[in-house]
Structure 1
C-alpha cells in the first residue's frame, strides 16, 4: 500500500475539485471539473443540482483511478455556501434548480421584511442582516413559487439544505440528511447563541423545521459512503464538513493562530476568528467559524458578491483573450487615469449591503483606453477587500497586521501587490491555492485522531510600495464611485 489518505472535496461555484491528502498535508492527487451557472432572468443565478453531484462523483472517480494504491480513510467536504437545494426525500430528485448564493430573486422579500422593522430581530438571532445572499429568503421564495415544495412539506417529504447536505445525502445513498454548524450559520435560520434552528426565524420565512438537516459539529461522524453511489468503496466515513471559507480559515489558523484570511474567488470572504460572539456595528456578519468536539469558534466575516468574477466580466467586456491577457493589459499602464469600476453586478455586499446598487464605470475621458478599465477592474477587487478589512479593524478595535489570502484569484500576483498597496499592509499567500480542501482535510484528520504532521508551506509575501498620496486619491475616487453606484439604485 502507498499509504493512507483523506479524500477532500471542494465543491465551488465555478469548479468542483477534489484532493487526496496525505499525513503531512501533502497533495497526493487532484482532480477538477468546471461548473456552469444559469441566469434565466435578470438578477437570477442558479445551478443544476444533479450536475453538481455528478461533478463530485466524477472527480472522485478520477482520484480512485489516479491513485489505486492508496487507502482512503475518510471523506471531507468543503462547499460553496448559501446556495440552496430542495429535493424529494422519496426519490432523491431536486424539485428545482439550486438557487445560487449570488441570486437576487429574494430581494423584494428582504426589502419587505426590512420595511416591517424586522432586520434587527433577524440579525440579533442569526448574526446576518437581511440580504438575498442568505438562504432563508430564497427558501421562502421557493416554497411559494414551486407548487411541489408546499405539497412535499405537507407530506413530510421535503428536504432542503446547503450544498454540503445535498452531497452528504447522495454519498450516503439518502440515509443521512445533516449539515455542520458552519454551513447552518449561513442560512439565517440558525440561532447563533443556542446553536440550533430557531423556530421563530423558520416561521418568519415560512420554512418547515422538519425539512431542515440535522445539526452536527464540523468534525462529526456524518455517516458512511453507500455502496454503488460513486467509485468509492462502501463504508468509508464522512468525517468533516465545513463551508469553504470556514475551512480555509481553519487551515490558516492551524498554521498561524489569530490569522485574518481573505478567500478571493468568484466572490470574496474575509474572515477573522473571534474568542466569543462579536456583534458588528460596521456592516459585517457574525457567524460560526467551526464547531469541533462540542466547542464552537465564532468569526466576523465580510462577504463580497462579485470579486474575481469582475475580472471574468471585464475580460469579456473588453474582448481580451483570457484573464492573463486582461492582467497584461492592466500592467501596461501605470495608473487607471481616474477610471473607477464598481463591480456591483449583483448588488454590493459587505460592508455596504445594497442589493439594488448597479455596476458602473466612471471617470472616463476621451483619453481612456481599455488598459485603464482593465487596471480599474483589479483595483476594484482589491478596494472591496480594503472596505471590509477597515470595517473589521473597527469592530475588533485593534489593527490587523497581515492578511492571509487564498482562492483561485490569488494566483494573480499583480492583484496581490495591488491589495497590499491599497491596504497598506503585508499580504501573504501560501504556495498551494487549495486552502479550503486542505483545511477540511485537516479537520477530518483530527477527527480520526491522526493530526497531520505538516510544516507551514512557504509563503509568498507582498509588502506595500505605493505612495501614500496616490493610495489616498484612489480611495477617494472609489468612495465617490460607490456613492454614485448606490444612488442609481
Structure 2
C-alpha cells in the first residue's frame, strides 16, 4: 500500500497526517506555532522555530504511522496565506522574521493609500472602463481597497525599513514570498508559489492570471524578488533525504482555504463551504469565471492544474476562534466545548448583542475602524447570555456574507459544508442551518486542508484515478437540518444585532 504525507502549516499550529488509499489517517503529529509580539501591532513568527516544528511533525507523523518510508508516494503542502518574509537566495539568510497576516505595522500606510488621490483615481478610472467594456476585471478595480491582511503594504514596509533589503532585491540577491514559497525553497531550493497562494497576496491579477504590473510598479517592488507562479499540483521537486530517510516527491502546494474547498469535495460550480477556524472563511466554487464583487468578496484562484482553472469567491470574518480563545482567557469558559452547552442553557441572549470586531468588520460592512463590544447588558444578564450572544454573532457574520454572496451571484445553493475547530460547536452549526435555510454538513474529520492536499497529491501519484473516488471517500458525521420557524423567530434578534453593529462602526 502507498501512503500520502499531508502537511498543513497554519497560523496557530503545524499539523501532519499520513493517509492511506482510503483517506484514513494512520499517523499524525501537531505542534503549536509561537506567535511573537515584539511591538504593539506586530505579529511575527521565527523562521528557525517554524522550520524545526515542520521537520518535527513530518518525522513524528511518519514514525507514528509505523509504515515503511519506502511506501510514501508523495507529499502535499497546505499553508496559511499572506504571511510573508524575505531571504537571500544565495545564502538563505533572512532579512526579517515572518510578518504574519495578522500584523498591523503597515496600518497607517493602508489608511493613507486607501484615501490617496492615486487609488481614488484608479477606482474612478476602473469604473469608467467597466461602463464601457463591462469587463469584470474593471468592476473589481472600481472597488479596490488595500487591507492589512494582504501582503502588499507589509512587504512595502519591509522594503522601506529593513536595511539592505531593497538594494539586494534590485541586485537579484533578495527574494520575497509567502510561507508556502519559503517552505518549497527550504525543501527544493526553488523560488516558486502556486496560483492559489499568489491570488490572495494583493499583488496578483486573477483575471489575467499573472502578477499585477500596476501593483508591482506602484509600490516599487523589484520584479526580481517575485516568485515564479506555478500550477497547484504537479512536480514541485523532492524533499531532501535527511527528513524521511528517502527523497519524497512533492506533488501539491496550495493555500489553506483552497485546500479546504477541494478537501470538502466542492468540485462543482456553486459548491459552498465555510471554515470556522481562527477566522471564518466562506468560499464558493465559481467555476471558470473570477467573481467581481461590489461588497468586498474576493475573486481568488481555487486551483490550477494543467488546463483546468477553478476560481472561488471568498468572504471572511477575521474573528471566530479568536472569540472562543478570548472567552477562555477571561475565564468565561474553561474549554471550547462549553460554548455550545452554555448557549443552549438559556432560551435567548436576554437582549444582549455582541459585535465581533477585534480586527474590524470585513465584507460586506468593510469597516476596519469598528470596535468590539457588548450592547444591552443589564442586571439580569448572566454568563450564559453573554456566551450565547458571542456564538450568535459568529453566525450573524456568516449570514451577512451569505446574503451578499446570494445577491451578487444570483445562484441557488443547496448545502453548506463546514470544517475548522469551531465547527465542533453544535449550537453554531444548528443556528447557521436555521438562518440560511440550508442543511449544514459536518464531516467526521474536520481537517479539510489536510484532505485537500492529500487528495490532489494522491491524484497526481495515481493513488486515486478520478474525483468520483474522492467523493465516495467523504464521510459526513452530522447534518444539521434547517428549522424554518426558528428563522422567523430570529428576525427581530438579527435586526437588533444590525443596530448594534451600526453603533460600533467608525469607532477608532
Normalising by the residue count of structure 2, what TM-score does the alignment of the two structures yield? Answer: 0.90
**CA deviation string 1:249-289 (max 9, x = no partner):** 11223577642000110012111111212211222111111
* Alpha-carbon contact 1:225-1:233 (below 8 Å) kept: no
Bigger shift: residues 7-16 or 405-414: 405-414
In the TM superposition, 1:347-386 aligns within 5 A as 347-386=360-399
Offset, 1:163: 1.2
- Residue 232 (structure 1) aligned with residue 244 (structure 2): yes
Offset, 1:127: 9.1
- Residue 482 (structure 1) aligned with residue 501 (structure 2): yes
Counterpart residue number, 1:262: 274
SS in 2 for 1:253: coil
Offset, 1:157: 1.8
1:247 to 242, 248, 259: 259
2:190 to 156, 176, 179: 176
Counterpart residue number, 1:75: 75
Residues 355 and 125 of structure 1: CA distance in aligned 2, closer, same or farther (over 3 Å): same
* Alpha-carbon contact 1:47-1:98 (below 8 Å) kept: yes
In the TM superposition, 1:426-465 aligns within 5 A as 426-451=439-464, 453-454=469-470, 455=472, 456-465=474-483
Counterpart residue number, 1:104: 104
SS in 2 for 1:215: strand
Q: 1:32 and 1:211 mapped to 2: Cα distance?
A: 32
Q: How many residues align?
A: 483
**CA deviation string 1:135-192 (max 9, x = no partner):** 11111111112123223323322121111111111122xx111110000000111121
**CA deviation string 1:338-379 (max 9, x = no partner):** 111112111222222222222121111122122211111111
Residues 137 and 67 of structure 1: CA distance in aligned 2, closer, same or farther (over 3 Å): same
Residues 436 and 128 of structure 1: CA distance in aligned 2, closer, same or farther (over 3 Å): farther
Offset, 1:234: 4.3
**CA deviation string 1:71-128 (max 9, x = no partner):** 1111100111111122222332332221221222222222222222526369846996
Q: 2:184 and 2:486 mapped to 1: Cα distance?
A: 50
SS in 2 for 1:351: coil
SS in 2 for 1:87: strand
* Alpha-carbon contact 2:267-2:285 (below 8 Å) kept: no
- Residue 471 (structure 1) aligned with residue 490 (structure 2): yes
SS in 1 for 2:158: helix
- Residue 211 (structure 1) aligned with residue 230 (structure 2): no
**CA deviation string 1:438-465 (max 9, x = no partner):** 1111111222233264423134111223
Offset, 1:64: 2.4
Bigger shift: residues 340-349 or 255-264: 255-264
* Alpha-carbon contact 1:128-1:286 (below 8 Å) kept: no
Offset, 1:325: 3.2
* Alpha-carbon contact 2:74-2:248 (below 8 Å) kept: yes
Residues 306 and 313 of structure 1: CA distance in aligned 2, closer, same or farther (over 3 Å): same
- Residue 281 (structure 1) aligned with residue 294 (structure 2): yes
In the TM superposition, 1:400-419 aligns within 5 A as 400-419=413-432
Counterpart residue number, 2:94: 94
- Residue 320 (structure 1) aligned with residue 333 (structure 2): yes
Residues 39 and 380 of structure 1: CA distance in aligned 2, closer, same or farther (over 3 Å): farther
Offset, 1:233: 3.3
**CA deviation string 1:369-415 (max 9, x = no partner):** 22211111111111111111111111111232311111121122222
Q: 1:78 and 1:32 mapped to 2: Cα distance?
A: 14
Q: 1:468 and 1:374 mapped to 2: Cα distance?
A: 20
Q: 1:351 and 1:91 mapped to 2: Cα distance?
A: 44
Bigger shift: residues 86-95 or 199-208: 86-95
* Alpha-carbon contact 1:128-1:188 (below 8 Å) kept: no
Q: 1:127 and 1:462 mapped to 2: Cα distance?
A: 36
* Alpha-carbon contact 1:252-1:259 (below 8 Å) kept: no
Q: What is the root-mean-square deviation of aligned Cα atoms in Å? A: 2.1
SS in 2 for 1:440: helix
2:166 to 136, 141, 150: 150
Counterpart residue number, 2:129: none
Counterpart residue number, 1:85: 85
Counterpart residue number, 1:45: 43
Runs of at least 5 residues in structure 2 that lack an aligned partner in the other structure: 127-137
Residues 470 and 145 of structure 1: CA distance in aligned 2, closer, same or farther (over 3 Å): farther
Counterpart residue number, 2:8: 10
* Alpha-carbon contact 2:270-2:411 (below 8 Å) kept: no
SS in 1 for 2:454: helix
Runs of at least 5 residues in structure 1 that lack an aligned partner in the other structure: none
Q: 1:314 and 1:203 mapped to 2: Cα distance?
A: 44
Normalising by the residue count of structure 1, what TM-score does the alignment of the two structures yield? Answer: 0.93
**CA deviation string 1:218-246 (max 9, x = no partner):** 01211111233xx2234311110111110
